[in-house]
Amino acid sequence: MRAAALALLALTLAGCESTQEKSAKLEKAAKLQERSAAPAASGLTIKRASRLVKVLATAVVHSSEGTAAAVTLRNTSSHTLRDVPIEIHVRDARGASIYANDIPGLGAPLRSVALLAAHGELTWVDDQIQAPGTPASVVALVGEGTVATASPPRLALTGAHTVEDPANGPGAVGTLANPSAAVQREVVVYAVARKGTHIIGAGRAVLPEVPAHGSVPFQLYFIGQARGAKLELNAPATAVG
């Protein structure tokens, strides 16, 4: 499995590393620990669909590396929303649910969006799906978020482009800049590869920390493909300032 390979790589790499490689190691470690970091004590339960956030589209991508779900959201309100919960059910070709993220123990990025800008759109990705069988579709339910009381910073993604790793397959690299005075922690960079209206690849990078008025490089790998596709990335802030 790719996760095991990444963990082994992080342990065996020698001391001579580029900044990109150091960032990739930190990001990989963060994703591997995500299920145990600040886990939810109880499962996710959304009793009523949000009146402000609409689900525009869903997609599921499956390959030898695993399964990823992508959910495109739109905030129809004039307010930035925080901690918007997302419940997903991945279904097989017969319509049976083979995975849901309503189980206890998942970290916040696997069950919510940290920030959704006023009138903004974002494609949220879960690439940690553990499901038996072959997924065919995903259904999403979005709950009510909390209105942000302060204006959040807009993190800047620069230099993003796709790469092809001989060992880990298609991916993307770039730099995330934080123009604010607040340290951003556990920032998720969501990435999808689109061909026309179809998502053919999806992945995430989890950055443990982006310093105030600073920037860090990121690296992620796709489940699915990215060759010849349009790269789309989002990185919501996690703190205001």
SS (H, E, C) 43-93: CCCCCCCCCCEEEEEEEEEEECCEEEEEEEEEECCCCCEEEEEEEEEEECC
Terminal alpha carbon distance of the chain: 39
Nearest to 80, CA basis, from 239, 186, 209: 239
Tell me the per-residue pLDDT of 123-173, one tens digit each, with 9 for 90 and over: 999 999 999 989 999 999 999 999 998 888 999 999 999 999 988 899 999
What's the CA gap between 63 and 222, in Å, rounded? 10
What pLDDT shows up at residue 195? 96
Q: Which of 103, 87, 120, 77 is nearest to 237 (CA)?
A: 120
Work out the percent of the chain whose per-residue pLDDT is above 90: 76
What is the value of pTM for the model shown?
A: 0.84
> Average pLDDT for residues 50-66, to the nearest whole number?
97
> What H or E segment, with its residue span, contains residue 2?
helix 2-12
The average confidence (pLDDT) of the chain is 87
Q: What is the pLDDT of residues 204-228, one digit of tens each?
A: 999 999 999 999 999 999 999 999 9
**Residue 240 confidence (pLDDT):** 82
How many other C-beta atoms are found inside a 10 Å radius of the C-beta of residue 87? 20
Q: Where are the chain's structural domains? A: 53-147
Q: Say which CATH class 53-147 falls into.
A: mainly beta
Helix (H) / strand (E) containing 30: helix 19-32
Q: Edge-to-edge, what's the strand order for the sheet holding 169-178?
A: 156-165, 169-178, 214-221
What value does the mean pLDDT take over residues 12-16?
A: 35
Greatest Cα-to-Cα distance within the chain, rounded to the nearest angstrom? 52
Element (H, E) at 97: strand 97-100
How large a percentage of the chain has pLDDT more than 70?
83
Tokens encoding 96: 């049976």
Mean pLDDT computed over 1-27: 42
Flag whether pLDDT at 12 surpasses 80: no
